[in-house]
Structures are given as C-alpha cells and as structure tokens.
C-alpha cells in the first residue's frame, strides 16, 4: 500500500504565487508519483475572511486549472474541491469538540490574520485549524508537503488525532509535515521581513504564476534590496538573500556557483537574470493553464470525479468516528 499525502491551497487570489509553488506545489508534483496523493482547493477555508462571490468563483477554477498546469495529474492524484466533499464540514463539528480553546488561542496564523481584519473576525477564522486537521485526518494522511507557515497547524492536527485515539482507540493516523527547508518561507519582494502572501495589498510584493513576462520583470527589478554591491548569500541582507534563494531554487545551481557567476556583477544584472529564469519556468505552466481554464466543463468533470472518490474514503472515516462515539450509524 502506498503512503498517503495530503495538501491544500486556498483559492484566494488570481492564482498561486511563486512562494506557494517553490514552498509546496513543486513538491506536490514530484510526490504524486510515489504516494497516494490528495490535493485540495480549500474553498471552505477561503471564506473564513470576506470574499467577493465572482472573485472566489473565478479563483476556484483558476487555482484548480493552475494545479493541473504545473503537472498535477488528475488521474494519478486525487485533486478535488473541499466543499464538494461534505464530510469535511461534518467531521469538523465533531473534532471541534475535541479541540481546546487554549490550543486555538495559540495559533499564530489566527493572531496575524485576525489583526488584519478591519470589520469582524469570524468564528470560522478561529476554527480554521480544526477544518485543516480534518482535511488531513479524513484520508489517513502520512505526510503533508507544506511551507513553514503551516507547521503549527499540523502539530495541532497531531494533538487532536492523538487525543481522540487515546480516548476511543486508533482511528486517526498521525501525520508529519514535509518541509523543503530552503524554500519553506519565500519572502515578500517589497518587504522581505514578511512572507510572500496571496493577499498582499502591494501588488509588487508577489509574483503570481499567471503574471506576464513584463510584469515579472517589473516586479523583480523593483524588489527591495540594500545599498551594498556584492551578490552573496548573506542572511543579514534580507532582500538579496530572498532573491538569491529564489534564483537557487529555480536554477538548481549551488550557492558557490551562483556567487561565482555574479562575482563583479551588480543588482541590475542579477535581477534581470532572475526575472528571465522565473519567466522560463513559468512559461510552460501558463501555456497549459490557458488551455485548461478555457474549458471549464472538463475542469468540472475532473473536480466531480475526484470528489466522488475522495468522499468514499472520507465517509468511511466519518462512520468509524461516529461509531466510536456511540452514535447510531
Ligand atoms: P495557502 O493557500 O496559504 O498556501 C498553500 C501552500 O503554500 C505554502 N506557502 C508558502 N511557502 C513558502 N513561502 C511562502 N511565502 C508561502 N506562502 C504559502 C503554504 O505553506 C502551503 O503549503 N491552510 C493552508 C491550506 C490547507 C492545507 C490543508 C494545507 C487547508 N487544509 C491541509 C495542508 C494540509 C493554506 O492556507 O495554504
């Protein structure tokens, strides 16, 4: 039996960005070959903060189409939309009753995201980590390929699973996060102290996988660096270090090779080579994306077929949990 991997992405922008891609999605493509993979467009998570109907709808299709375009194979991996599998909401209620308020109070993402809300903070935002735990636990996941920002949520997932198992016997598999250290936290181009984010108000901060070559060039050329000249991997030079990390991840060259290559050269040359390297890897994704997004009927067929398959596994888990609790099933 193959081990199971699960991961998710929120449809909360025009497309995933290079942080999502290098931090998580690129691993998804590789891992699908050797694992039973579940990849989920988590629309229920997206509505934990206000969304516009049309934008959300477009973003669900766009995110799904981009996952196919980067190489997720809908016949090999189970790629589905979260709200299509009702068991996610059903088990969330149950596991809410096994989650402590103190645990949710400690979640740093909740603190950050709730501080950014100008009107209200929804109960859904608070409960976000339990829904995420359910995503993972429904499918007996062993491994979760994610960026660093999700690690705390995965630790909570293990705690909830462990608590339930201790009380009722082994139902849930304890999952482990899989992080690629070097790209686990790609930073904003305009404020390298913060991570790159889909919802950044500053459009120059984030390179989206749907950005056209000229937009990518403009964003990279205007990325914040410092007044020094040499192109070197120096953790203290936050902006440059981030850009070099992206360059390294995209080209596969070693730090030494990169430093040698740019020795005696300045920011302008480095940034323009970085922009071209990014354009090069993004180009084939965009070509495929254009084809996928033009055919929503096919996207919907993939979505439904995969949701149907996911629901069979999810339903078995929910029934098992209900039985353990003493519910009449
Ligand atoms: P989301 O949509 O914010 O991001 C999707 C994936 O991209 C990673 N990521 C990054 N990696 C490196 N640098 C960055 N700047 C960066 N920004 C984002 C994220 O860590 C993530 O792996 N809660 C999740 C979605 C989710 C999920 C799940 C993930 C819901 N259920 C179950 C794993 C398992 C989220 O908001 O990801």
Residues 283 and 300 in one domain: no
pLDDT, tens digit (0-9, with 9 covering 90-100), for 154-186:
999 999 999 999 999 999 999 999 999 999 999
114 and 138 co-located in one domain: yes
Are residues 279 and 313 located together in one domain of the fold?
Answer: no
- In the residue annotation, 198 being an active-site residue is answered as yes
The answer to whether 315 touches 87, Cβ cutoff 8 Å, is yes
pLDDT string in tens for the chain (329-residue length): 899 999 999 999 999 999 999 999 999 999 999 999 999 999 999 999 999 999 999 999 999 999 999 999 999 999 999 999 999 999 999 999 999 999 999 999 999 999 999 999 999 999 999 999 999 999 999 999 999 999 999 999 999 999 999 999 999 999 999 999 999 999 999 999 999 999 999 999 999 999 999 999 999 999 999 999 999 999 999 999 999 999 999 999 999 999 999 999 999 999 999 999 999 999 999 999 999 999 999 999 999 999 999 999 999 999 999 999 999 99
Q: What is the pLDDT of residue 258?
A: 98
Residue 246 near ligand 1, beta carbon < 6 Å? no
Residues 81 and 217 placed together within one structural domain of the fold: no
Is 195 considered catalytic here?
yes
* 157 and 306 inside one domain: yes
Nearest residue to 130 (alpha-carbon basis) of 151, 160, 171: 160
Please state, in angstroms and rounded to a whole number, the distance separating the CA atoms of residues 223 and 188: 9
| 111 in active site | no
C-beta 7 within 6 A of ligand 1: yes
Residues 125 and 250 in one domain: no
On whether both 216 and 180 belong to a single domain, the answer is no
Structural domain contains residue 191: no
Q: How many helices (H) and strands (E) does the chain have?
A: 14, 5
Whether residues 174 and 238 share a domain: the answer is: no
Residue 198 placed within a domain: no
Q: Are residues 84 and 233 in the same domain?
A: no
Dist. CA 149 → ligand 1 center (Å): 7
Together in a domain, 238 and 318 = no
* Total domain count, the chain: 2
CATH of the domain at 270: 1.10.240.10
Q: Is the distance from the beta carbon of residue 136 to the nearest atom of ligand 1 less than 6 Å? A: yes
pLDDT at 187: 98
pTM of full prediction above 0.95: yes
Does the beta carbon of 10 lie inside 6 Å of ligand 1? yes
Task: Determine the pLDDT at residue 68.
Answer: 98
pLDDT tens, 178-209?
999 999 999 999 999 999 999 999 999 999 99
What is the CATH classification number for the domain harbouring 31? 3.40.50.620
Which residues are CB-neighbours of 180 under 8 A, at least 6 positions away? 22, 23, 27, 145
264 C-beta neighbours (distance < 10 Å), count:
9
The answer to whether position 194 is within a domain reads no
Is residue 196 a part of any domain in this protein? no
Same domain, 23 and 101: yes
How many other β-carbons are positioned within 10 Å of the β-carbon of residue 232? 15
Q: Which domain holds residue 148?
A: 4-184+296-325
Q: Are 19 and 110 in a shared domain? A: yes
The predicted pLDDT at position 323 comes to 98
CA distance 185 to 172: 29
């Amino acid at each position: 039996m193959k081990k199971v991997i699960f991961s998710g992405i929120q449809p909360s922008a025009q497309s995933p960005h290079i942080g999502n891609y290098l931090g998580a999605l690129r691993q998804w493509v590789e891992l699908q070959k050797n694992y039973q993979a579940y990849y989920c467009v988590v629309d229920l998570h997206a509505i934990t903060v206000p969304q516009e109907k049309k934008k959300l709808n477009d973003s669900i299709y766009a995110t799904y189409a981009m996952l196919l375009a980067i190489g997720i194979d809908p016949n090999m991996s189970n790629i589905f939309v979260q709200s299509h599998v009702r068991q996610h909401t059903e088990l969330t209620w149950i596991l809410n009753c096994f989650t402590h308020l103190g645990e949710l109070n400690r979640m740093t993402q909740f603190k950050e995201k709730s501080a950014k809300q100008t009107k209200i903070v929804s109960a859904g935002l608070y409960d976000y980590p339990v829904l995420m735990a359910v995503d993972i636990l429904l499918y007996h996941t062993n491994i979760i390929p994610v960026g660093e920002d999700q690690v705390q949520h995965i630790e909570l997932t293990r705690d909830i699973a462990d608590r339930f198992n201790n009380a009722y016997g082994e139902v849930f598999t304890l999952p482990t996060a899989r992080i690629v250290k070097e790209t686990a936290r790609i930073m904003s181009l305009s404020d390298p102290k913060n991570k790159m984010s889909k919802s950044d108000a500053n459009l120059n901060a984030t390179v989206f996988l749907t950005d056209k070559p000229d937009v990518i060039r403009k964003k990279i050329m205007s990325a914040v660096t410092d007044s020094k000249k040499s192109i070197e991997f120096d953790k203290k030079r936050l902006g440059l270090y981030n850009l070099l990390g992206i360059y390294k991840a995209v080209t596969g060259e070693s730090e030494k090779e990169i430093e040698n290559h740019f020795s005696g050269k300045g920011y302008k040359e480095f940034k323009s080579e970085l922009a071209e390297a990014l354009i090069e890897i993004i180009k084939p994704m965009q070509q495929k994306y254009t084809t996928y997004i033009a055919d929503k009927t096919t996207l919907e067929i993939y979505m439904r077929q995969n949701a149907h398959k996911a629901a069979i596994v999810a339903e078995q888990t929910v029934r098992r949990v209900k039985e353990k609790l003493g519910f009449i099933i």
